[in-house]
Structure 1
Amino acid sequence: MPRRKVVFLSVMIALSVYLGVLLFTGSVVATGPQVRTQIGILEGFTHENSDGSKVDVFLGVKYAQAGRFQKPMPYPEVTGVVKATTFGPSCWPQEVLPSRSNAAEGPEFAEDCLYLNIIKPSEKPKNPNGYPVLVYIHGGGFVRGDARDWGYKSLAEKFASKGIIVVTIQYRLGPFGFFASNTTDIPTNLGLFDQMYALFFLNQILPNFNGNPYELTVLGHSAGAAGAHALAISPQAGGLFTRIIQLSASLFSTWAIGEDVIAESLSLAERLGCPNNPKLRDCLEAKPVEAWMAAMKEVTYGRPSVAEFRFHPKLDDSFLPFSLEELSNDAPAVPILFGLTDAEWVQIVNEPYMDIRPMRVPDADRADFNKEKLLAYFDRILFKGPDDPLKPLIEEYIDSSGLETPNDYLKKASEIISDVMFNIPVINQIQHRIKSKQETYLFYETFANPDVRASDKASFGVPHGNELAYLFPAERSNEPFTKEDILVQDALIDAIVSFVKTGKPKSGNLSWPQVGSTLKHVLLTPDLKVNNEYEPARTKFWTKTLPSRLSLEALRKHLPFAQKYDTKTEL
């Protein structure tokens, strides 16, 4: 009997029964679009796009309730009409950063924060099965972010106008979503359970919104992509989605998964005055959220490490109950579209050094950055101590790269850190999928207009999150788009719309090819084209040279899903 099977929580089974017997009675006078759902009658508002199409928007829909350290539970039915016209409060982040300009009225943060937002075409679908659905999971390193930050206007304009229902979800963050101890008394990965429960809830209510739950695509960026990847391999989440889009991240990154979250969690508990004993949970539950936030402010937002974020998923006994290999091997085959930029973590050399994000290159080192300073920088954020066997191999790699100027060394720093944190974990995932003959697509973004992200201009290359300015122009871009920007934006949105509707990405007349053994991909530039190889020299170093010269144990301290390279075989 195969190990993997679809598993639903007992509360989900209870909810299914509850949904099956729930009845609605009475008449309602509508002032905005209304939809009868299992939690009450939701009333949203209608928004008109620039092309004249209309969409119905439902904001702040409560998809679950959950107390501290509790898995999400059904939200009780509300009698009468529930106004769904403003965003719900955001989940508490690890640290409160400057507020967003589009903050809604009402509390900005809350522990009771499991809300989602639905943007649907006003017109009834021509397909009797309903509209396909796109669910967006925000990023933020599992320690910050929300759905409110992404608004609804761009999603209405770019996707709902094209016959797609779009949903944005929130999930618990930082220690509220990813606290982990060395006991089972406190469940871990609660933020992932939130994401899964949101999908389960959507599967129940989408028919009421003219949506097709059997055509549901999950799109995640950064930590949201790692979350989508976790959903793809978890035995808990099977059957809740049809396909996935992973932008700029994989769960196979040291910042996205690891046992180090236990030490960080217990350290936080100690700062809260809660010793690691059988009463740990009781003590932590008694502490007000203000005490939690004060304790978290005593440490930096990030660590000086490629494993930057303090709170993140880990293997457990429920959501991710086996090794990464077992979970990946047993996962059902679903099509995945990946996206990468050519300078994912250029911010380490691009932005001023801040104590809050201590992994960046110090400002004083940039003007005369050289090999010595580069290796010293890697000593601080990459190598696992002075005897890390990776160190001499990285030095060889640097020596073979023909670097001369400070800018050359800064660019190499950005390239190596980008590879470790984002690119190679994604490539590891893709290569496993190729061996398993799973449908896989990849785009590589090599065009960036620096004026579109004026507050985050890259010294070189396309930075992490650049594509979000094209997907969310109303919320993310600072300048009007050039003709080149519009070409890139149209190609990207066309591909996503096509993938959501058919499972096959297509831009104009270009049908995107599947990734092959050479990592064939689409170059996302104004002159859209297919490229047969993905960064061959860099890929060879990380997936062939290092695995042939390092033990798997040593390599997996940097790349959790690294595989030994057999020189006798090729992909």
Structure 2
Amino acid sequence: MIKILVVELLVLLASSSVFSIEVDTDLGRVRGVNLTSRLGVSFHAFRGIRYAEPALGELRFVNPQPVKPWSPGTFDASQDGPMCPQPWDNMTDVSEDCLRLNVYTKDVKARKPVIVFLHPGGFYVFSGQSKYLAGPEHFMDRDCVLVSLNYRLGSLGFLATGTKDAPGNAGLKDQVLALRWVQKHIHRFGGDPQSVTLLGYSAGSISIGLHMISPMSRGLFHRGICMSASPYGPPKYHSNDLQLAQRQARLLKCPQEPVAEMVECMRRKPYLDYVSTYNGMFEFGWNPVLNWRIVVEEDFGQERFLIEDPFKTARRGDFYKVPLITGITEFEFKSAAFWDLRNASIVSKYNSDWERFAPIALILDRDSNQSRTATRVLREKYLPESRDKLEYPKSLKGLGELFSDALIGVAFNRFLRLMAPHTPIYTYLFRYKGRYSFLKNPDNQEAMGPVHHDELLYLFHVGLISPLLKREDPENFIIERMTRMWMEFAKKGDPHNKNDEYLKELNWPRYTSENQDYLEIGTNLTAKTGGFYLDRYHIWDELFPLSGF
């Protein structure tokens, strides 16, 4: 009997050594697990590592504080940490103790390029967790260290009263603190702190554009991959969003003034009260999509993320210049148009009072003569067949293009124009239509992409949408090409590698203001010139000239 127990113990110890790994850091020891990549390569996963103190009580709405060391204990990083407060099916997976990051590596003794993923979600949903949106299995077939992270969302991350109580941009400061953590500790996991590439999608892409501007972020990264968004859209920047803060206060049954009492009351409310009032923070449906705004902070003695209007900084060329990849998908926010047109309540709002409701969906100033004029012109230009009535499916193409440009395309185009004189840029239009998409027609289950988020399906295992795609799947070639181009860029600021079987024919010219070269990413990789959708973007330039920002 004793012999049997000894054998079982030896088997248990052997299996634990196979499935776990420990790394020493200045904060204490971290225990991770061993996992397998998409193509069967073993790698180490350290998930849910706390990089900041939980933003509770007096730490709500203000700059995050670095995590305290846990030595001599060992931090269990074997599973994803919780996501930041948001509506979710499994609320046991949600907590304010969410300022966590994941590190994936194949060799803790190496010095590999680091890719840091900043997740999408409009600054109010999603996370860096591996199980839903940011599975590491694709990138772990490449020679890098991958980091994904959470940051505070919604009112808990972006409440901006214009006072010292909630100066704004807390979620972006969380990202900064995580990047500082990477600089201090990533070498313990086999990463090179002098070769850090930020990879951001949507809100994460906006974040990268702002990190290039922010004095807090200088020197913390060396390249940027900005996918489907930038911080240079039609909305103008302000020093506060007190109106949205007061809306949240009303929903929480807090006083709306004086501001100090309002914020103090909001600090005492359980985070589940914020989650349960999410729907009430939007005007109709999930509009406006970008509801919580980034602000230019006033100086209350805090470290400020933004100290002036990003347009002003960018035009002056006084920003942290790093090589860039940036691009968009072919159909972007067609998904928003699809669901709005199939919602009788929302489409009736557009049809009954377009000039009132369109500015909300298009993220324009409300109740101004300029926005009323703009919405009339935009309807005529984008929806000539639906001047009298929006309806599905007739209006889908025009409304999809209008939403895509208002929310993504115009800002992307301005980003190119503002950055190109100062730093190398590669740009792309993603046109690959796969079996999986973030937009599927519920009537026939047809994938309607490529829409917003769809490139992520080939860079990460997006468990929300698709199974883990293998070598024999038809998507294998696009996964190989995307991860290899992104990896080459992360390594040296250039996506080419003539010695790579998947990239040997790649010809991706840099973007210049004169030629406006870009790569069309579809079944083939095709270099093109002359830009794309420029006639549509010209409509916006006439309505909202870049010189006016």
Q: Which TM-score band applies after superposition, normalised by the shorter structure?
A: 0.7 to 0.9
Which letter maps to 2:327?
A: G
Q: 2:97 aligns with which of 112, 121, 136?
A: 112
Which letter maps to 2:483?
A: I
Task: Give unmatched runs, 5+ long, in structure 2.
Answer: 1-15, 299-303, 497-501
2:494 is the counterpart of 1:504:
yes
TM-score by length of 2: 0.82
1:422-441 to structure 2, matched below 5 A, reads 422-434=408-420, 436-441=421-426
TM-score by length of 1: 0.79
Shift of 1:333: 1.1
2:26 is the counterpart of 1:38:
yes
Q: Say whether the 8 Å CA contact 2:438–2:451 is kept in structure 1.
A: no
Q: Say whether the 8 Å CA contact 1:136–1:169 is kept in structure 2.
A: yes
1:168-179 to structure 2, matched below 5 A, reads 168-179=148-159
Q: Distance in 2 between matches of 1:461 and 1:454?
A: 6
2:381 is the counterpart of 1:397:
yes
Task: Give unmatched runs, 5+ long, in structure 1.
Answer: 1-28, 101-106, 352-359, 557-561, 566-571
Partner of 2:225: 245
Partner of 1:58: 46
1:236-385 to structure 2, matched below 5 A, reads 236-253=216-233, 261-271=241-251, 272-277=253-258, 278-294=260-276, 296-297=277-278, 299=280, 301=282, 303=284, 307-317=288-298, 318-328=304-314, 329-351=317-339, 360-364=340-344, 378=358, 381-382=361-362, 384-385=366-367
Shift of 1:302: 6.2
Partner of 2:74: 81
Shift of 1:80: 2.5
Q: 1:183 aligns with which of 143, 159, 163?
A: 163
Where 1:330 maps in the other structure, the secondary structure is coil
Partner of 1:523: 520
Q: Distance in 2 between matches of 1:529 and 1:268?
A: 48
Where 1:473 maps in the other structure, the secondary structure is coil
1:323–1:123 Cα change, 3 Å: closer
1:308–1:546 Cα change, 3 Å: closer
2:425 is the counterpart of 1:465:
no
Partner of 2:36: 48
Q: Say whether the 8 Å CA contact 1:58–1:118 is kept in structure 2.
A: yes
1:312–1:386 Cα change, 3 Å: closer
1:256–1:291 Cα change, 3 Å: farther
Where 1:237 maps in the other structure, the secondary structure is coil
1:74–1:483 Cα change, 3 Å: closer
Partner of 1:3: none
2:195 is the counterpart of 1:198:
no
Where 2:229 maps in the other structure, the secondary structure is coil
Shift of 1:30: 6.9
2:83 is the counterpart of 1:90:
yes
Partner of 2:12: none
1:46–1:451 Cα change, 3 Å: closer
Shift of 1:131: 0.5
Q: 1:161 aligns with which of 136, 141, 148?
A: 141
Q: Distance in 2 between matches of 1:377 and 1:274?
A: 28
Where 1:35 maps in the other structure, the secondary structure is strand
Q: Distance in 1 between matches of 2:118 and 2:433?
A: 23
Shift of 1:273: 1.8
Encode CA deviations 1:460-486: one digit per residue, 9 max, x unaligned. Answer: 552111111112236254366887633
Q: Say whether the 8 Å CA contact 1:379–1:386 is kept in structure 2.
A: no
Q: Say whether the 8 Å CA contact 1:137–1:219 is kept in structure 2.
A: yes
Which letter maps to 2:426?
A: Y
Which letter maps to 2:318?
A: D
Shift of 1:292: 3.2
Encode CA deviations 1:274-305: one digit per residue, 9 max, x unaligned. Answer: 332133332222223233334x2461556468
Shift of 1:115: 0.4
Q: Say whether the 8 Å CA contact 1:471–1:489 is kept in structure 2.
A: yes
Q: Identity over the aligned pairs, expressed in percent? A: 22
Partner of 2:9: none
1:52–1:139 Cα change, 3 Å: closer
Q: 1:514 aligns with which of 510, 515, 531?
A: 510
* C-alpha RMSD over aligned residues: 3.5
